[in-house]
Amino acid sequence: MAQLQLKSYRFRAEREGEWRRLERLLDRMEKGSPAALSDDELLAVPVLYRATLSALSVARATSLDKGLIDYLESLCTRAYFFVYGARSTLWERLAGFFAHAWPRAVKSLWRETLISATIFALGAIAAFVLIAHDADWFYAVIPQELAGGRDPTATTEELRQTLAGAKTEWLSVFATFLFTHNAQIALLAFALGFAFCVPSVLLIAYNGMMLGAFLALFASRGLGVEAGGWLMIHGATELFAATLAGAAGLRIGWSLAMPGERSRLDAVAEAGRTGGTVMGGVIVMLMIAGLLEGFGRQLITSTVVRYSIAVVSLAIWLAYFYLPRKEPGDGR
C-alpha cells in the first residue's frame, strides 16, 4: 500500500505542473472567452490536453489512487470541450440550422418525401371516392370527437357555418391545441419508422384519408371549394410538415431494412441524424401552421385570400428547401 502511494506521489509530482497550467488556462477561458488567452496560450491548450489525457491512461492502467483519476477525468472533460467543442454562439448555430442544415437534410430526403406525399394522396383519394359513394364510410374514417359536428348528419347550412370565423378570444387556446395535436401526429410518423416503415405508412395514409373524408363531405353539399380554402390556408404548411415527418420515418425504416454496405447500426444512426434535423424544422413548421389555423383561418373568411395564402406559403417552402444555395465551404 505504501509503495502504491509513493508511486502515485511521484507520478503526480512529475506532471502536476502541466495539469495545473491547463486548469488555470481553462479557468480563465470559462470565466471570459477564448479571447482571454494569448496566441501562445491557445496553442498550448491542445498540447497540455493530450499530455493530461496520456497521464490519465497511465493512471488507469497502473491503478493509481481514485482521487487522482477522478481529477484527471474532470480536467480532460473540460479540456475536451474547449479543444473540440463548438466555437459558435447559440444564434450562429440557429442561423446555420435554418440557412443550411435543415434545408440540406430535407433535400436529401426527396425520394422519401415523394413516396410520403404519394401515400398521403392515395389515402385522400380512396376516402373521397368511398364516401362519395356511401356517406356511412365517413364514420369509419373520422372519429366523432374530431368531426366536431361536421358529419353527414349536419345540414348544409350547419356545415357552411363551420367554415366561418371563430370568436377571437378563444384563438390562442385553439392554436395551442392544434399545434400540440399536429406535433404528436408528426412525431409518431417519424418515431414509428423504425418498425420497417409499416406504421409510418399506415399513419400517413390515414391522415390522407381524413383529409379526403372531410373534402368528400363538404363537396357533397356543394361546399368543396370553400372547404378546400378553409383547410389549405394552414394545410399547405401543416401537410407539408407531416409529409416530411413521414419521409424521415421512412428513411429510418428503410435504413434498418436495407442498410446496404454499411452496418445496420451505422445506417440507422445516420438516418436518425438526418431525420432528427428534419424533425427539428418540422416543429417550427407546425408552429406556423398552428398560428395560421388558430388565427389566420378564423380571422380570414375570404376563400380567395385563403387559397392565396396557401399557394404563397407552399411556394415559399418549396423554394426554401429545393432551390440551389451556396453551402459553407463552397467555392462557388
pLDDT tens for each residue of 276-297: 999 999 999 998 998 888 788 8
Cα separation, 299 vs 168, whole angstroms: 8
- With cell 417550427, the residue in question is 284
- Per-residue confidence (pLDDT) for residue 241, from 0 to 100: 96
Cα separation, 157 vs 217, whole angstroms: 13
Cα separation, 183 vs 181, whole angstroms: 6
> Tens digits of per-residue pLDDT, 191-226?
888 888 999 999 999 989 999 999 999 999 999 999
Q: Give the start-to-end residue ranges of the domains of the chain.
A: 2-85, 93-322
End-to-end CA distance of the chain: 66
Q: Are 292 and 306 in contact (CB under 8 A)?
A: no
The H-or-E segment that residue 116 falls in is helix 110-133
Cell numbers at 107, concatenated? 433535400
- Per-residue confidence (pLDDT) for residue 178, from 0 to 100: 58
Q: Rounded to the nearest 10 degrees, what angle do helices 264-291 and 171-191 cross at? A: 170
- Phi/psi of residue 123, nearest 5 degrees: -65, -45
- Per-residue confidence (pLDDT) for residue 331, from 0 to 100: 47
Q: Report yes or no on whether pTM surpasses 0.75.
A: no
- Per-residue confidence (pLDDT) for residue 313, from 0 to 100: 96
Q: Are 146 and 213 in contact (CB under 8 A)?
A: no
Give the model's confidence band at 175: pLDDT under 50 very low, under 70 low, under 90 confident, else very high.
Answer: low
Q: State the Cα angle at 294 between 291 and 300, rounded to 5°.
A: 95
Q: What is the mean pLDDT of the chain?
A: 86
